[in-house]
Structure 1
């Protein structure tokens, strides 16, 4: 029964196949006159184009026949041997020479074929499968078209792979030879330029500070509006030869103005409260470590006139008074990133005071009545300190002490600077003064104080 069914199906399959061949031949004759010659040549090769043929060869046919529409080709580098100049490779000959026969005993179970594996192994042997197909094509080319072979695999592999040139150093090369100077052609004599070091350095800082307070005339608690301004300019030019000699020159101007309440002074709206014009110089020669033999000098006075309230009585003016000091002693210096300290001890000091304006009361400044100058010999102590507490807070202090062993004159100036940025800052200025050689005002002692809190511009260079 099984044999009978098999024969019946075979007869039916052959009948259907024969009918398809007859129909295909008829269709080919009908369309032969309508299709270009190149397309008919393709159809002859495969009368019934299958899906596999269209997938693998239709796109390549479009490259050889202009009448076919161009199709996108997916490039695959594994087929490179079919598209480069034909060469004789060893792999095709080796493939056809292999024997796939494997010895197997009759009673031994055969190896499972790929159809029964639980996963698709084609994803892992793509290159192997492509190489087998390419080897078969190459074998046909070697047999049918041997004249197309232009190279061999052995010749290709004998060529060197392109690489950057590498300089190989002989292991016997002496190390001294590596540092041997190369011979240089005669280029003439070199022009030698000698630059002398500049031991001078300069800089400075300036500020303009102000305070303001406004009260309307009908303010319920009374009072008056007030304004105050203070400007400061300090320049320096110093010399340091990095060995023994040091020179310091400082020039300073400080002017402060404030409004005067009408009840205190009906003649003036503004009044000078700070007026300093100072020029100092110091020459030091290093004795040992941080100590220097020092000769120093200082000149100071004021610029503007200053009057007593509600009068035209002149208190002080330019060169009235003027002080000139010379001293000899030792200077201790300490300088680092945070502190810059200088302490000058002068056991021998000379102080000359001069008043040029006859309208100024000379007794107010320690001079005898009718005299314009005063000479004092004594000792002096002067200290300057620049302390960077934090990067935005600095303290500048100056202490001056002079005595002729009969009277004492001392000043202590302190400026605390709070820097908001490079250009804005708030300053607190405190100036203490003691002088028992001047005429004392009624109800006051010899101690004097000047204080100012201000906000404004600040610049340093």
Structure 2
């Protein structure tokens, strides 16, 4: 090989070596870049994002598995599926709530206010160890976030489907709980030894018995009875004069009320009152009545909203015995003379608190029927009946108020106010009974009854439309 060829060969060899070295360096740099890129990618992955992704995948799989269980109802629901009561508003029948509307009127609210997302709602309540690192809200804050999320959905629903709302929050708020006698009491604690004894073997078992369903009893019954006596003695030579008198007062009140705690209330009340007093100055009658009443009230109410009821009420009242003017046989009143029937239709406001109960009934439509059965009544005009007639029909409006107030445990005030007008005449009555309870069986009663009637005929004996009766007595009293 000559020097020329040798130089050419060495030159080519050097060029190929240079190319090989450059290619090696490029490959090394590329591999190092790949390794560093993979290393950078691994370091940039956030563990919270991975935990969030894993928790979503697990929760999604559990819910899809739960939905597939509906194909076979005999399979129990898995323990990891947690129903959430915080979203009850979205699953009850469509109801109008005030909270979604009030929320947008708050000063701090704005259309872009952050609300809880659907993903957040999946993790309400208890959380596993993976999601606990992401969600650290306390229970109160969690419930508040769930409520805001529900309110946002309800606002959209109200705007798009207002005709589908079937309930109102006010109706739900007025639902009453069951009475004490309808609540199942907690059973008494049993001794542990009784559970250690072997059970008595069942000798025979029949499956023919029907299922017994006990319905709640919405009727309540109560009553009050009393017999009271008043005695007043004055000697014949008493320096101021006067007469000795004895008085007896008795009464019975029975009530039967129906209340389904939702819409219907039906109240019934029977009052009987009889009182007699000696009349030494009356030479014709030895005894006279100072209290004589038979009254039956019924009231049917259908709830309108809150404490208001559409109400149809009826009242019938009369007396038992005849009453006469002093030293004469002129009959003033008697059984069914008069007999009064009142029928009213209107709205009733009711409120029951711990110490008092109140009823205010306004009736724009009211009808009163007066009847006199005895022809010996000397003055039918005292009962708004024209002379020579037995009946009277009065149409107008009526207001009735009833109040029972336990002022203190030993003093109870019962008041009844009635105002009836035909727009020509007015009949107003206000009865007040103060019951001073000494103990369970003894009490003192003060009864004050004021009455105004400008439809009666004024006479020499009756020169005022205003009337007043007062009675104070002491005796036996029992309430059940």
TM-score range (shorter-chain normalised) is 0.5 to 0.7
The answer as to 2:447 corresponding to 1:460 is no
Q: For 1:290 and 1:298, how far apart are their aligned partners in 2?
A: 22
The answer as to 2:271 corresponding to 1:255 is no
Q: For 2:388 and 2:459, how far apart are their aligned partners in 1?
A: 20
For each residue in 1:142-190, what CA deviation from the matched residue of structure 2 results, as whole angstroms up to 9, or x when unmatched?
A: xxxxxxxxxxxxxxxxxxxxxxxxxxxxxxxxxx9xxxxxxxx997758
| Cross-structure match for 1:332 | 349
The answer as to 2:249 corresponding to 1:230 is yes
The answer as to 2:422 corresponding to 1:404 is yes
| Cross-structure match for 1:304 | 321
Alpha-carbon distance, 1:213 to partner: 1.0
TM normalised by structure 2 equals 0.56
- What does 1:351-370 correspond to in 2, within 5 Å? 351-360=368-377, 361-370=379-388
| Cross-structure match for 1:444 | 463
Alpha-carbon distance, 1:420 to partner: 0.5
Does the Cα contact within 8 Å between 1:207 and 1:233 map onto a contact in 2?
Answer: yes
Q: For 1:254 and 1:280, how far apart are their aligned partners in 2?
A: 15
Does the Cα contact within 8 Å between 1:432 and 1:447 map onto a contact in 2?
Answer: yes
Consecutive unaligned residues in structure 1, runs of 5 or more:
1-175, 177-184
The answer as to 2:379 corresponding to 1:379 is no
| Cross-structure match for 1:313 | 330
| Cross-structure match for 1:424 | 442
Q: For 2:363 and 2:343, how far apart are their aligned partners in 1?
A: 9
Consecutive unaligned residues in structure 2, runs of 5 or more:
1-78, 80-200
| Cross-structure match for 1:201 | 220
- What does 1:225-304 correspond to in 2, within 5 Å? 225-262=244-281, 265-304=282-321
Alpha-carbon distance, 1:437 to partner: 0.6
Runs of 4 or more, structure 1, over 3 Å off, are: 185-191
Does the Cα contact within 8 Å between 1:365 and 1:439 map onto a contact in 2?
Answer: no
| Cross-structure match for 1:346 | 363
Q: For 1:204 and 1:324, how far apart are their aligned partners in 2?
A: 23
Q: Secondary structure at the match of 2:270?
A: strand
For each residue in 1:368-418, what CA deviation from the matched residue of structure 2 results, as whole angstroms up to 9, or x when unmatched?
A: 111100001100101111100111110001111111101000110000011
For each residue in 1:407-459, what CA deviation from the matched residue of structure 2 results, as whole angstroms up to 9, or x when unmatched?
A: 00011000001100000001111000001111224263110000011111111
Q: For 1:407 and 1:210, how far apart are their aligned partners in 2?
A: 38
Supply the RMSD in Å over aligned alpha carbons.
Answer: 1.8
- What does 1:114-263 correspond to in 2, within 5 Å? 192-262=211-281
Alpha-carbon distance, 1:201 to partner: 1.1
Alpha-carbon distance, 1:219 to partner: 2.7
The answer as to 2:340 corresponding to 1:323 is yes
Q: For 2:303 and 2:459, how far apart are their aligned partners in 1?
A: 45
Q: Secondary structure at the match of 1:385?
A: strand
| Cross-structure match for 2:90 | none
Does the Cα contact within 8 Å between 1:209 and 1:455 map onto a contact in 2?
Answer: yes
Q: Secondary structure at the match of 2:381?
A: helix
Given the alignment, which residue of 400, 404, 412 partners 1:394? 412
For each residue in 1:119-138, what CA deviation from the matched residue of structure 2 results, as whole angstroms up to 9, or x when unmatched?
A: xxxxxxxxxxxxxxxxxxxx
For each residue in 1:9-47, what CA deviation from the matched residue of structure 2 results, as whole angstroms up to 9, or x when unmatched?
A: xxxxxxxxxxxxxxxxxxxxxxxxxxxxxxxxxxxxxxx
For each residue in 1:221-257, what CA deviation from the matched residue of structure 2 results, as whole angstroms up to 9, or x when unmatched?
A: 3222111121111101100011100000011111121
| Cross-structure match for 2:164 | none
Q: For 2:338 and 2:206, how far apart are their aligned partners in 1?
A: 68
Q: For 1:440 and 1:280, how far apart are their aligned partners in 2?
A: 30
Alpha-carbon distance, 1:217 to partner: 1.9
Does the Cα contact within 8 Å between 1:353 and 1:373 map onto a contact in 2?
Answer: yes
Given the alignment, which residue of 432, 437, 453 partners 1:414? 432
For each residue in 1:291-324, what CA deviation from the matched residue of structure 2 results, as whole angstroms up to 9, or x when unmatched?
A: 0000000101111000111111111000100111
Q: For 2:412 and 2:418, how far apart are their aligned partners in 1?
A: 20
Q: For 1:204 and 1:329, how far apart are their aligned partners in 2?
A: 27
Q: For 1:347 and 1:440, how far apart are their aligned partners in 2?
A: 29
Alpha-carbon distance, 1:191 to partner: 5.3
